[in-house]
Amino acid sequence: MHIDLFLTCVNDALFPATGQATVRLLERLGHTVGFNPAQTCCGQMHLNTGYRDDALDLVRKFVRDFKDSEVVVMPSGSCAAMVRELYAEAARWAGDDELLKDVEDLAPRVFELSEFLVNKLGVTDVGAYYPHRVTYHPTCHAMRALRVGDAPLQLLRNVRGMTLVELEGANECCGFGGTFAVKNPDVSAAMLTDKARHIIDTGAEACTAGDNSCLLHIGGGLHRLRSGARTVHLAEILASTEQEVFI
């Protein structure tokens, strides 16, 4: 299968290793991966903040960039949910029937990484090796909008050398929520405190998730508490092998 990677702007700017890991993983499974260098932002931040016109420009650009793709895979539940759940709504707001048709054609071919592996490819064991104690945080968009279910956990349970420990209050939001953390800092910080405490209580060396935006927030909290625990994206664990482990 030829897979087009949508890296996301957060990963492009701050976490390029996640994109590299995603490519390495998919190629190891026998697929070819393409990267359209014209890609930018999915427009989620703009739409959530009320800048509809700016968001629509990015919706139209995404559709132009990926309309011919066999599948588009993203190492982000948040951005995948934007395309699958909100692009059609944005097109309806704009009264653009042609855009709506294009979105409805493209959206079913857009996947978050873990759901693509488990639900599309039928793969739960990717041959990964990661010799660490790890806990998993399910991100809100992946869990509630995309409904990926236990797809990430199915993949993690098959990682060799890894001890996977259950996270108390796993289904609770970490408090990031994009611009929510900026607009409601006190509430966000309180939610982060709860999440960090639960992670520390597991004794895990690392907390993993499918969205680096959430991990950025969680990682900051763990660092300020001097917990010794770190964050690592799901793709980086799944791309790790005995020959090369993403620390």
Residue 38 has pLDDT above 90, yes or no: yes
User: SS in 3 state form for 206-235?
Assistant: EEEECCHHHHHHHHHHHHHCCCCCEEEEHH
Residues 198 and 87 in one domain: no
Last-in-domain residue among 61, 94, 119: 119
Amino acid making up residue 120: K
Which residues, 6 or more positions from 127, have their beta carbon under 8 angstroms from its beta carbon? 28, 241
What distance in Å separates the CA atoms of residue 90 and residue 78, rounded to the nearest whole number? 16
Q: What is the pTM of this model?
A: 0.94
d(CA 214, CA 202): 18
Domain count, the chain: 2
* pLDDT higher than 80, residue 96: yes
Which of 119, 154, 184 is a domain's end point? 119
* Residues 90 and 172 reside in one and the same domain: no
6 in the same domain as 103:
yes
CB 182 within 8 A of CB 48: no
Query: Residue 167: which CATH number?
Result: 3.40.50.1860
The answer to whether residue 247 scores a pLDDT higher than 70 is no
Domain boundary among 93, 119, 145: 119
Give me the CATH number covering residue 54: 3.40.50
Indicate if 115 and 135 belong to the same structural domain: no
Rounded to whole angstroms, the Cα distance separating 231 from 199 reads: 10
Q: List the helix and strand counts (H, then E) for the chain.
A: 14, 8
Residues 38 and 59 in one domain: yes
Residue 47 has pLDDT above 70, yes or no: yes
Q: Determine the structural domain holding residue 60 and report its residue range.
A: 1-119
Q: Give the CB-side neighbour count of residue 242, counting CA atoms within 13 A.
A: 3
Same domain, residue pair 35 and 81: yes
**Type of residue at 201:** D
Q: Is the pLDDT of residue 192 over 80?
A: yes
Residue 177 reports pLDDT greater than 90: no
Confidence of residue 111 (pLDDT cuts 50, 70, 90): very high
Output the pLDDT for position 98.
Answer: 97
pLDDT of residue 176 exceeding 70, the answer is yes
Q: Confirm if 72 and 109 have CB atoms less than 8 A apart.
A: yes
Residue 125 lies in a domain: no
Whether residues 104 and 196 share a domain: the answer is: no
In this structure, is residue 13 part of a structural domain? Answer: yes
**111 lies in the same domain as 207:** no
Residue 179 has pLDDT above 90, yes or no: no
